[in-house]
Amino acid sequence: MIEKFLYSGIKEKDNNFKMWLAFPGPYSFAMSSLGYLWLFKQLDEDDEISIERIYSDTEKTDFAPNEVKLIGFSFSFDMDFLNIFSMLDKYDIPLKSKDRENFPLIYAGGPVVTANPEPYSEFFDFFVIGDGEDINLEIAKLCKSNLKRNKSEILEMLSKLDGVYVPLYSKKVNKLTKKLEECIYTPILSENAYFKDTFIIEMSRGCANRCGFCLASYTNLPLRCVKYEKLIETIELGLAQTNKIALLGAQISAHPHFHDACEYIYKKIQNGENIEMGVSSLRVDAITPEVVKTLVAAGQKNSTLAVEAGSDRLRKVINKNLQENQIFEAVKICRESGLKGLKFYGMIGLPTETPEDLEAIINLAKRIKKENKGFDISFGFSSFVPKPHTPFQWIGRESTKSLEKKSNFLKKELHKIGVDVQISSIKWDYWQAVLSRGDSSLGDFLVEVYKQGGKLGAFKAAAKKFKIDTDYFALKDFKFEDKLPWDFIEIKPSKDFLIQENKRLISIQCL
Ligand code: SF4
């Protein structure tokens, strides 16, 4: 395994404080996870902290488990809990916090626990809520300076840090929001990374579009953009090491200098530099011939466009506000500027969806196909999962039966017109919704799911064993006045704003 460090590397360290930064997935995914690698760099650059990366497929560690004082897990997907439990098991570390005496202290950060840490509150000693870059070092140092104290004393101290949630002590916690003054990039390149030797650059964080279902937008407001000079400096830093770069951000095309950055790369390619560039998905309304020309020159053959829903009406309800003619125009630009194909992303089961909205997807696909002969088009769908801190957090999912019917309808009709389609498993999306809106009563259920092998049957059996009403979490429409498990997280915009936004969006169906 060849790794190239883009910072001063691992120095001789004072070795009396050892920590693991754990990724609940294989090495290849971890080495393409910008947030995980950046946190590692920050901790690794400190002389006082000895840190090692571990993954779900780590075979041998440098540190013995009993010397490790602190373990931080990156928690990005609901089902990550399965790998987290199996990693703890592998090192004979009890899963529940109450069964672990003093060390190691175990915490988690990332989108899942920022949204709602409650289902996992029995397992982790504490959580980082929000942008964790600046707090991890403080946490590690606090633990290091208090090794002689017992666990509850240290946890009480941690509970006083802004952005740290300790289930044992905290009542309220502020979500951390970082100013994007520096440009975050891949600090270690690996030829075994999922995106091999790719230098990923975070261009912006958050998305100001505020689609009603979108966790990535609502938990990352406001939209923050890196200064253009920093961005160019970082692009140059990357290109000095590799020819593969990727620009990352939920809404990179909203960066005021996105087009300038594309132009900058394009000119370099025109001047003979061999650059491969990828971008995270683009918004339809940001597609211009110049942008696509750059992507094509940088080796991209296909791209993805998130259209979310089939009709203008439903796109308005979800706040996507994208008109059908904009989609047709974007596809035309992509085809004429040299892309070979596009994959369209959407969601089924969105609030207020009607059979006409599904028909609209088929009609959209038909027209795109007809007007773009020879252009490769395909569709991908997931089903709506209500997410905390969004205007749709109160809205329960449709039943699995009804969503499967919709899914089969789309598959059949799109295949009929020769369009490939992939639809996420409706059953798995159901369990995702249970976890997403779950509370602290789910602890034993999660352990049982893990012990039973973590497949769909295990979720069902565990719910039966512990008499958990999982439909309550996944399907029920909550009331605005209900107390929600994640209400203790102080985040902007406020719950009142979300209620108003919910009412505004849902009322659009009546127009
Ligand atoms: S445009 Fe995309 S990232 Fe932005 S709010 Fe909508 S779904 Fe989320």
Q: How far is the CA of 250 from the centre of ligand 1 (A)?
A: 7
Q: Which atom of ligand 1 is nearest to the CA of 250?
A: 3
pLDDT at 15: 73
Give yes or no: residues 159 and 76 share one domain. yes
In whole angstroms, what is the distance from residue 136 CA to residue 128 CA? 8
Rounded to the nearest angstrom, the distance between the alpha carbon of 265 and the centre of ligand 1 is 25
- In this prediction, residues 319-339 reach a mean pLDDT of 94
The answer as to whether 183 is a domain residue is: no
Do 506 and 318 form a contact (C-beta atoms < 8 A)? no
Query: Secondary structure of the chain: what % helix, strand, coil (to 5)?
Result: 40, 15, 40
Question: Does any ligand 1 atom lie closer than 6 A to the CB of residue 461?
Answer: no
Crossing angle of helices 258-270 and 228-239, in 10° steps, is: 30
Same domain, 287 and 311: no
Radius of gyration for the alpha carbons in the chain, expressed in angstroms and rounded:
23
- Percent of the chain at pLDDT > 70 equals 98
- Residue 252 CB less than 6 A away from ligand 1: no
Find the domain containing 226 and state its range.
198-300
Question: Nearest CA to 97 among 108, 113, 82?
Answer: 108
Nearest residue (by CA) to ligand 1, atom 6, is: 211
Task: Among 300, 318, 353, identify where a domain stops.
Answer: 300
Q: Specify if 187 maps to a domain.
A: no
Question: Which tokens belong to 61?
Answer: 């560690």
Question: What is the enclosing helix (H) or strand (E) of 347?
Answer: strand 341-348
**Does residue 159 share a domain with residue 49?**
yes
What integer best gives the mean pLDDT of the chain? 95
CB 350 less than 6 A from any atom of ligand 1: no
Does residue 11 lie in a domain region? yes
Q: Which residues of 137-169 are buried (b: 16+ CB within 10 A; e: fewer)?
A: bebbebbbeeeeeebeebbebbbebebbbbbee
Give the β-pairing of 224-225 and 204-205.
antiparallel
Establish whether residue 70 lines the binding site of ligand 1, counting it when its CB lies within 6 angstroms of any ligand atom.
Answer: no
Range list of H helices, 161-299: 215-218, 228-239, 258-270, 289-297
* Nearest-angstrom CA–CA distance, 124 and 129: 13
Instruction: Tell me the three state secondary structure of residue 271.
Output: coil
Q: How far, rounded to the nearest angstrom, does the alpha carbon of residue 61 sit from its chain's CA centroid? A: 27
Question: Going by C-beta distance under 8 Å and a sequence separation of 6 or more, which residues neighbour residue 274?
Answer: 243
Give residue-wise pLDDT tens across range 272-319: 999 999 887 778 877 999 999 999 999 999 999 999 999 999 999 999
Do 360 and 269 share a domain, yes or no? no
| Nearest ligand 1 atom to alpha carbon 308 | 7
Mutate to test the pocket of ligand 1, among 320, 322, 344, 505 (most ligand atoms within 8 A of CB): 320
Q: Do 156 and 11 reside in the same domain of the chain?
A: yes
Look at residue 283 in the predicted model and tell me its pLDDT: 82
| Contact partners, residue 429, CB within 8 Å, separation at least 6 | 382, 383, 385, 397, 403
* Alpha carbon nearest to ligand 1 atom 3, residue: 250
- Would 421 be classed as within a structural domain? yes
Q: Give the distance (Å) from ligand 1 centre to CA of residue 285.
A: 12
What is the model's pLDDT at position 60? 95
Within this chain, do residues 86 and 9 fall inside the same structural domain, yes or no? yes
24 and 85 in one domain?
Answer: yes
Query: pLDDT-based confidence at 16, cuts 50/70/90?
Result: confident
389 and 270 belong to one structural domain = no
250 lines ligand 1 (CB under 6 A): yes
Q: Which band of pLDDT confidence, cut at 50, 70 and 90, is reported for residue 13?
A: confident
- Which of 211, 255, 305 to mutate to test ligand 1, by most ligand atoms within 8 A of the CB atom? 211
% residues pLDDT > 90 (the chain): 91
Containing 324, the helix (H) or strand (E) segment is helix 324-336
**37 lies in the same domain as 126:** yes
